[in-house]
Structure 1
Amino acid sequence: MPKRKLSSEQLAAVKELAKQWGKIVAKNAYGQDGPPLDADFDEMEQIAAAATAGLVEGTLEHLTQQQAQRLPDELPCPACQTSCPVKTRPRKVVARGATITLHEPVAHCPNCRRGFFPPTDQPQT
């Protein structure tokens, strides 16, 4: 399957949307009046870092879950072509900015006694 890249314009739009969410995070952290005068930059940066990690986790967990849902319920074993059920197993993955729980699709062939991951060249549904 060919790799698809987002355009620089699309990425800029995502960044702008996240920037607006930053205002919501700030309001949630400090209320309508904003930070008190004794709040230093480090404290504010900690809030931003926590928000960034949460945004990374939420985005990647959601996107990988959506992608996994597009797989069929069964896939052929790459060795013997036996139809095998696709299940998921949780796996911690270190991403840029956070550690996420990936619900990784896996299949196990009872005939070959081997596990396999669904190939990336499956037709899109």
Structure 2
Amino acid sequence: MDATASELRKELGELLRRAAEVSVELDRAEGAAVGVPHYSAIEARAHELGRELSRRIQARRMGDLAAATSAAACPTCGDRCEPRRRRRRLASIDGPLEIDEPAAHCPRCRRGFFPPPGGAGPRRP
């Protein structure tokens, strides 16, 4: 593991530790942490926070992919089409979220398609 990855792991660990602290403080401030809770309540809150983190990671990664997608060849005619970022709601295993995804439209074929990340390749003759 290089120095950058090591620093990022350390930063992530610190951010997760702080997120746990803030979550417990928030529960106390909102009156959700009163008395001695059953362990299942503690576990459920932790899973809720984990699912929220998962949805944010998914949205960020999809946004990065959408931003990195360049012109793509239409699967039917091969014309180069510029993708646009399209906002879409989806249901993940961790709950609903909105993502950005690349979507292209070929005016020649009058069809939409979802281009893969990477270049368009050569235009078909």
- Taking structure 2 as the reference length, the TM-score comes to 0.66
1:26 to 11, 24, 27: 24
* Cα shift at 1:63: 1.8
Matches within 5 A, 1:1-125: 17-31=15-29, 35-72=33-70, 74-87=71-84, 88-95=86-93, 97-122=94-119
CA distance in 2, matches of 1:20, 1:122: 40
Contact 1:77 1:116 in 2 (8 A): yes
* Cα shift at 1:108: 1.3
- CA-atom RMSD, angstroms? 3.1
* Cα shift at 1:85: 2.9
Match for 1:107: what amino acid? Answer: A
* Cα shift at 1:49: 2.2
CA spacing shift, 1:20–1:100, aligned 2, 3 Å: same
CA distance in 1, matches of 2:74, 2:35: 63
Bigger radius of gyration among the two? 2
Q: Deviations over 1:14-67 (max 9, x none)?
A: 577535422221122225xxx433332232223212211211111111221122
- Corresponding residue for 2:123? none
CA distance in 2, matches of 1:48, 1:20: 13
CA distance in 1, matches of 2:73, 2:119: 11
Gap regions ≥5 residues in structure 1: 1-8
Gap regions ≥5 residues in structure 2: 1-5, 121-125
Percent identity of equivalent pairs:
24
Contact 1:89 1:106 in 2 (8 A): no
CA distance in 2, matches of 1:25, 1:63: 24
